[in-house]
């Protein structure tokens, strides 16, 4: 992620709500897509201080009431109380339970970052209030009598609140032998399922099947049962981005999609730091991958220097590279009013 500038000249970050230098209120403006200083006009109205913008704004309700957001809403949207990201929430955690507010804030921070990145990649986000694309919705739930599975079905992404508990998440990571397990990673993976429904099934199914296999044979349920009984395919490193990707073509797609978003996010971040030479033509996938590999080697060494997990643990074999290229080409797709397939429910 790029960094932003306050009117006082100090650096602002994507998640900033105020400037640590001049103490001004700051926030994400949906019009110029910058985190900027906000000038108070009256009790409820603010103005974006990005000189090229000047949009009049109000604060997202989740920001005012819970400090769970740093976004704003254009004043021209009088009926909108929540920002473009918070309005996608269907279910939020029970905030009367101790600890849940902190966990929910972490989920919202990861969700905002990932959705902003998806928009920067030119991919559409289905707005539930308009009937344009498959509406995207989120629910953050806790286990009760029935355990909550993190997953996606027909545009609804469910995340188990426990994933926001870093101790439990690390425990799960070790248990499943995963190189990384993060909230950002969960959102990227589940969005992969969402974009499969929205962009791949209606118009790229044959090309998908050639690269990832037939998603109907074996069925998802059979593939899932086989994976949990026998583990990943023994030669998964030669064909898949991760062990989990070898379970079923849908999971292969979601894992590859997440890896593609990792790549564009990390290379874009590098591009915003002039010390790192990461300028690549936007459409040149091979140049993006080359930059990512170079930055990945460097970042992994930084991480190893202080004993952190690798930033880029994946190996990009030939087939995986073609799968990532497939994701790159998805940006060219624009579908209107796709039918919700209702066929896929996957985790
Ligand atoms: Zn400032
Ligand atoms: Zn603005
Ligand atoms: Zn919000
Ligand atoms: Zn999945």
Per-residue pLDDT of the chain (347 residues; tens, 9 = 90+): 999 999 999 999 999 999 999 999 999 999 999 999 999 999 899 999 999 999 999 999 999 999 999 999 999 988 899 999 999 999 999 999 999 999 999 999 999 999 999 999 889 999 877 777 899 999 999 998 899 999 999 999 999 999 999 999 999 999 999 999 999 999 999 999 999 999 999 999 999 999 999 999 999 999 999 999 999 999 999 999 999 999 999 999 999 999 999 999 999 999 998 888 889 998 899 999 999 999 999 999 999 999 999 999 998 999 999 999 999 998 765 443 344 344 456 67
Considering the domain architecture, whether residues 67 and 204 belong to the same structural domain is answered as no
Considering the domain architecture, whether residues 200 and 253 belong to the same structural domain is answered as yes
- According to the model, what pLDDT value does residue 333 have? 57
CA of residue 6 to ligand 3 center, whole Å: 20
Considering the domain architecture, whether residues 64 and 140 belong to the same structural domain is answered as no
Considering the domain architecture, whether residues 34 and 168 belong to the same structural domain is answered as no
Q: How far apart are CA 100 and CA 97, in angstroms?
A: 6
Considering the domain architecture, whether residues 9 and 25 belong to the same structural domain is answered as yes
With beta carbons less than 8 A apart as the criterion, state whether 333 and 203 touch: yes
- According to the model, what pLDDT value does residue 277 have? 83
CA of residue 247 to ligand 3 center, whole Å: 35
- According to the model, what pLDDT value does residue 79 have? 87
Which structure tokens are listed for 12? Answer: 């602002």
Q: Which strands form 156-160's sheet, in the order they lie side by side?
A: 89-91, 137-141, 156-160, 151-153, 345-346
Considering the domain architecture, whether residues 77 and 126 belong to the same structural domain is answered as no
CA of residue 204 to ligand 4 center, whole Å: 19
CA of residue 112 to ligand 3 center, whole Å: 8
Q: How many helices (H) and strands (E) does the chain have?
A: 10, 12
With beta carbons less than 8 A apart as the criterion, state whether 128 and 137 touch: yes
CA of residue 56 to ligand 1 center, whole Å: 19
Of 83, 105, 129, which residue is a domain's last? 83
Considering the domain architecture, whether residues 165 and 295 belong to the same structural domain is answered as yes
- According to the model, what pLDDT value does residue 340 have? 38
With beta carbons less than 8 A apart as the criterion, state whether 130 and 101 touch: no
Q: How many domains does the chain have?
A: 2
With beta carbons less than 8 A apart as the criterion, state whether 24 and 37 touch: yes
- According to the model, what pLDDT value does residue 234 have? 92
Q: Taking the CB of residue 23, how many other CB atoms lie within 10 A of it?
A: 9
Of 30, 51, 83, which residue is a domain's last? 83
- According to the model, what pLDDT value does residue 346 have? 66
CA of residue 110 to ligand 1 center, whole Å: 24
Q: Domain of residue 316: give its range.
A: 85-346
Considering the domain architecture, whether residues 213 and 65 belong to the same structural domain is answered as no
Q: Would you call 33 helix, strand, or coil by DSSP?
A: coil
CA of residue 27 to ligand 2 center, whole Å: 9
CA of residue 2 to ligand 4 center, whole Å: 28
Contacts of 208 (CB under 8 A, 6+ apart): 196, 200, 215, 249, 253, 326
Q: How many residues does the chain have?
A: 347
Considering the domain architecture, whether residues 75 and 41 belong to the same structural domain is answered as yes
């Amino acid at each position: 992620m790029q960094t932003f500038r306050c009117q006082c000249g100090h650096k602002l970050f994507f998640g900033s709500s105020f400037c640590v230098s001049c103490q001004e209120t700051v926030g994400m403006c949906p019009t110029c897509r910058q985190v900027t200083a906000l000038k108070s006009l009256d009790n409820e109205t603010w103005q974006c201080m990005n000189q090229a913008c000047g949009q009049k704004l109000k604060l997202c309700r989740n920001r005012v009431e819970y400090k769970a957001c740093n976004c704003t809403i254009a004043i021209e949207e009088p009926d909108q109380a929540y920002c473009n990201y918070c309005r996608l929430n269907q279910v939020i955690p029970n905030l009367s339970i101790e600890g849940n507010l902190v966990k929910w804030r972490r989920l919202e921070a990861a969700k905002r970052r990932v959705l902003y990145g998806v928009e920067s990649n030119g991919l559409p986000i289905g707005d539930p209030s308009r009937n344009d694309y498959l509406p995207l919705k989120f629910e953050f739930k806790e286990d009760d009598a029935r355990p909550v599975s993190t997953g996606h079905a027909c545009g609804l992404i469910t995340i188990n609140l426990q994933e926001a508990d870093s101790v439990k998440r690390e425990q799960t990571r070790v248990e499943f032998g995963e190189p990384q397990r993060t909230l950002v990673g969960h959102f990227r993976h589940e969005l992969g399922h969402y974009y499969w429904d929205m962009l791949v099934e209606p118009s790229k199914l044959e090309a998908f099947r050639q690269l990832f296999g037939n998603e109907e044979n074996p069925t998802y349920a059979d593939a899932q049962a086989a994976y949990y009984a026998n583990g990943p395919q023994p030669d998964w490193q030669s064909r898949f981005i991760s062990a989990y990707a070898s379970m079923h073509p849908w999971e292969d797609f979601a894992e590859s999609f997440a890896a593609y978003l990792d790549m564009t996010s990390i290379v874009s971040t590098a591009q915003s730091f002039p010390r790192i030479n990461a300028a690549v033509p936007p459409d040149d996938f091979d140049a993006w991958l080359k930059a990512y590999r170079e930055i990945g080697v460097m970042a992994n060494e930084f991480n190893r220097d202080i004993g952190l997990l690798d930033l880029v643990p994946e190996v990009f074999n030939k087939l995986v590279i073609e799968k990532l290229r497939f994701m790159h080409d998805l940006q060219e797709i624009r579908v209107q009013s796709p039918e919700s397939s209702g066929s896929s429910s996957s985790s």
